[in-house]
Amino acid sequence: MSGNTGVKTIDETGDIAVVPLAIPITIGPATIGVLLEMGTEMTSVLQKLVAGGAVVAAVVTVSVLLYMSSGIERRIGAIGVSILSKLTGLLLAAIAAQLVLTGVKHFLR
């Protein structure tokens, strides 16, 4: 550990490991599934432009949050990170349940 920042750096053996955790979590199977489903329902050019604008807004928002993440982590502390992690896990579970129920509903039609 480097100082008291909690950021892991090069260990004593000189091994540098790159673990791209943010990419699969941010753009995972659920995101791809939602984009595919949303894309099949878009018929007009205006709908496609609005959807494209929404995707661009989401990319900008995620970029800003990732850029500001170390400052946010310092401000909310370890307990805040734990609470935020549990809340986002609950939100992810709700979205997953909704996707499954929507799939089942469309399958039964």
Residues 81/73, Cβ–Cβ less than 8 Å: yes
Range of the domain at 98: 22-108
Tell me, yes or no, whether 64 lies in a domain: yes
Residue 1, domain member (yes or no):
no
Does residue 80 fall inside a structural domain? yes
Total domain count for the chain? Answer: 1
d(CA 72, CA 91): 20
Q: Say if 71 falls within a structural domain.
A: yes
In a domain, 11, yes or no: no
The pLDDT of residue 18: 54
pLDDT above 70 for 19: no
14 within a domain of the structure (yes/no): no
Does any domain span residue 83? yes
The pLDDT of residue 17 is 55
- Rounded mean pLDDT of 77-103? 88
- pLDDT tens-digit map of 49-89: 998 898 899 889 989 988 998 898 899 998 988 898 889 88
pLDDT at position 62, please? 87
The gap from C-alpha 80 to its chain's centroid, in whole angstroms, comes to 18
pLDDT of the residue at 37: 82
Residue of 54, 77, 68 whose CA lies nearest to 4: 77
Is position 10 within any domain?
A: no
